[in-house]
Structure 1
Amino acid sequence: MGRRRAFDEDEVVCAAVGLFGGRAYDGVSVDDLVTHLGVHRNSLYKTFGSKRGLYLVALRRHVADDVRPLADALATATDAAAALRLVTSADLGLLLLAAVERAPADEEVADEVVAALASVDQAIADALGISTALAAAITAAALGIRLRGDPDGVGAALTQRLDPLD
């Protein structure tokens, strides 16, 4: 009989979401994972197979815990400005990093990113009664604002312009 795991896999995955979401895949070494997650190297490999294996589990957790709730919240959006505010305020760090860093080089990551963004686009389209193409443009604008790191500057001005007149 093997030794019992000395770590909580759920806690490790949640911590990995934060680590990869803050520093990206290439910015996190296996030594960083061992140190920050409190998991022995052998346990990490035995449980997740590799750094990439842990990354994929973390990305899927991020989608489940952060992107799906965003899509659910978007169902309450009454206009483009509300949708823009929701997307720019959501914690999408790991998804954004995955989209620009790993998706171009990793088909499995690309599939996760595409599906996650499609769910956001579809939620906006359904809530606002618009085409998915227009919803994708709203998502792209919101993510662009996030990437600029200025959600209160450009994002506030754009949201103000999109707010319906009373």
Structure 2
Amino acid sequence: MGRPRGFDETEVIATAAALFADRAYDGVSVDDLVTHLGVHRNSLYKTFGSKRGLYLAALRWQLKHQVHPLISEVGAAGDITEAVRHALAAHDESGVLDLLLMAAVERAPVDQEVRAEVSAALRALDEAVSTVLTGTSPGSADAPAPVLAEALTSTLIGLRLRARAMAAGTESDQAAVTLARHLNRA
């Protein structure tokens, strides 16, 4: 009989998600993971198979436990300004969208599984934004906003990227709120 696992797998995955969101896949070495997660190298490989295996588990955990709840909040918003505020609130301290952003930029172009996860999450966010813009569910006959929703989702993701690069989100947040107010008037 093997030794019992000496770590909480969910805690390790959540911590890895934060590390990958902060420094990206290529910015995190296996030594970094061992140090930050407090897991022995052999345990890491036995549980996740590889750094990539842990990355996929972290990305999927982040999407399920943080991004999709945010998407639900966005889709339930009363208007587009409220939806944008929900998306921006996720930028504050938690960086809910950061791993999705990093995965889209760094891993999705070269890893088909990551691309599929990122694409599905972005489509879900587009659908939530479209629902708020039109007041109808995605796929209904009178839902004219999928392209506009995609543009707004891309704008929000771009504003988050800009906020990360500038180490301050205030200007980006203001730009998104101004855009949302304009869309509400249109």
- Normalised by the length of structure 2, the TM-score is 0.83
Change over 3 Å in CA distance of 1:53–1:157 after alignment to 2: closer
Q: Deviations over 1:43-85 (max 9, x none)?
A: 0000000000000000000101111111110122233222222
CA contact (8 A) 2:80 2:132 kept: no
CA contact (8 A) 1:98 1:113 kept: yes
Task: Give the match for residue 24 of structure 1.
Answer: 24
Partner Cα separation in structure 1 for residue 179 and residue 128 of structure 2: 22
Change over 3 Å in CA distance of 1:161–1:109 after alignment to 2: closer
Task: Give the match for residue 173 of structure 2.
Answer: 155
Task: Give the match for residue 131 of structure 2.
Answer: 126
Consecutive unaligned residues of structure 2, counting only runs of 5 or more, are 91-95, 135-143
Structure 1 residue 161: deviation in Å?
Answer: 4.7
SS at match of 2:4: coil
Change over 3 Å in CA distance of 1:161–1:117 after alignment to 2: closer
Consecutive unaligned residues of structure 1, counting only runs of 5 or more, are none
Percent identity for Structure 1 against Structure 2: 53
2:51 is the alignment partner of 1:51: yes
Partner Cα separation in structure 1 for residue 109 and residue 175 of structure 2: 32
Q: Which 4+ runs in 1 deviate beyond 4 A?
A: none
CA contact (8 A) 1:60 1:112 kept: yes
Task: Give the match for residue 159 of structure 2.
Answer: 145
Structure 1 residue 160: deviation in Å?
Answer: 2.7
Partner Cα separation in structure 2 for residue 108 and residue 161 of structure 1: 33
Give the count of matched residue pairs: 165
Moved more, 78-87 or 67-76: 78-87
CA contact (8 A) 1:34 1:40 kept: yes
The CA RMSD measured in Å over matched residues stands at 1.5
2:79 is the alignment partner of 1:79: yes
Partner Cα separation in structure 1 for residue 113 and residue 175 of structure 2: 36
Report the AA paired with residue 156 of structure 2.
A
Report the AA paired with residue 177 of structure 2.
T
Report the AA paired with residue 104 of structure 1.
P
2:128 is the alignment partner of 1:114: no
- Normalised by the length of structure 1, the TM-score is 0.93
Q: Which structure's relative contact order is higher, taking Cα pairs within 8 Å and 6+ residues apart? A: 1
Structure 1 residue 127: deviation in Å?
Answer: 2.5
Partner Cα separation in structure 1 for residue 35 and residue 127 of structure 2: 39
Report the AA paired with residue 63 of structure 1.
L
Change over 3 Å in CA distance of 1:100–1:23 after alignment to 2: same
Partner Cα separation in structure 1 for residue 125 and residue 179 of structure 2: 22
